[in-house]
Amino acid sequence: MRFRNILTALGLVMSLGLAGCTTTTGDKTDVAETTKVQIFSDSYGAVTDAGYALPAIPIQKIDKKFHRQIVDYETREKPGTIVVNTRERFLYYVLPRGKAVRYGIGVGKQGFAWEGEAYIAWKQAWPTWHPPKEMAERKPEVAKYVEKGMDPGLRNPLGARAMYLFNEKGQDTLFRLHGTPEWASIGTAASSGCIRLMNQDVIDLYNRVKPGRNAKVVVQQ
C-alpha cells in the first residue's frame, strides 16, 4: 500500500508539473503573445475619409497572406523602418521586440523595379498625381497630368495616401509608397515601379510613419 501511495503521489506531482508548462499567466503568457499572428481581415470595409467614400474591398478574393497582419519578424533594422520585399510582395513596418506589421503590396513591372535604401521625406493625404515625363512618353494619354497633375479622388493612381522616397543626398527618387484603387493588383507586378498598397492599408501605414531622415525604407529584390 505504501508503494502504491508513493506512485500516486509521484503521478500527482508530474501532473502538476505538466500543467505548469501550459499556464497562461506570468511570463509564459508574454512568450505566447510574441508568437501570435494577428490578422486584420475585417479592416477593409467601406470608410469615409476626408470626404471621400472609399468602397469596401472584397478581401475574401485576395490571398489571406496579403491581408494586413502582425507577424514575427527578425531584422537588424530599427523599429520604424520599412522593409519592402518585392519578390515576396510584402511590406514590413518594423515594430519592437521582433514584430512587424506586414502588408500585401503590388510592385513594379519587370524592367521598372527599383531596389536600395531611401527615406520618406514627406507624405500626403489624397495627393495630386504628377506622372514622370518618362511615363508620359510611354503613355501619351497621361501627358496632360505631368504639369497640372490629376486631382485627388477615388480614381487617382496614388490612392488615399502617398509617401515620397528621397535618397541620401536629399534627391527625389520618383518612387512612392502609395494607395491604389486597383485592389486586385496586390500580389502582382503591375505598377510602373512604385510600391502600391490597398487604400485601407496605406492609411494605416501613413498613420505610423513620421517623415524625416529616420524614416528609413529598404527595398529588396
- One DSSP character per residue, 116-165 reads EEEEEEEEEESPPB---HHHHHH-GGGTTHHHH-BPSSTT-TTTTEEEEE
pLDDT at residue number 2: 45
Q: DSSP label at 59? A: G
- One DSSP character per residue, 64-116 reads GGGS-EEEE---SSPTT-EEEETTTTEEEEEETTTEEEEEE-BEEPTTT---E
Q: 169 or 23, which is more confident?
A: 169
C-alpha cell at 10: 509521484
pLDDT at residue number 205: 98
159 phi, psi to nearest 5 deg: 65, -150
Q: Report the chain's mean pLDDT, rounded to a whole number.
A: 84
How does residue 61 score in pLDDT terms, banded at 50, 70 and 90? very high
Taking only the tens place, the pLDDT of each residue in 4-60 is: 444 344 343 333 333 332 222 233 333 333 446 799 999 999 999 999 999 999 999
| pLDDT at position 185 over 80 | yes
| pLDDT at position 188 over 80 | yes
Taking only the tens place, the pLDDT of each residue in 77-92 is: 999 999 999 999 999 9
pTM: 0.81
Cα dihedral sign, 194-190-79-57: positive
196-219: average pLDDT: 97
Residue from 86, 173, 178 nearest 123 by CA = 178
Q: 130 or 60, which is more confident?
A: 60
How does residue 120 score in pLDDT terms, banded at 50, 70 and 90? very high
pLDDT at residue number 16: 31
Q: 198 or 141, which is more confident?
A: 198
d(CA 168, CA 127): 24
Give domain 27-220's CATH architecture: Beta Barrel (2.40)
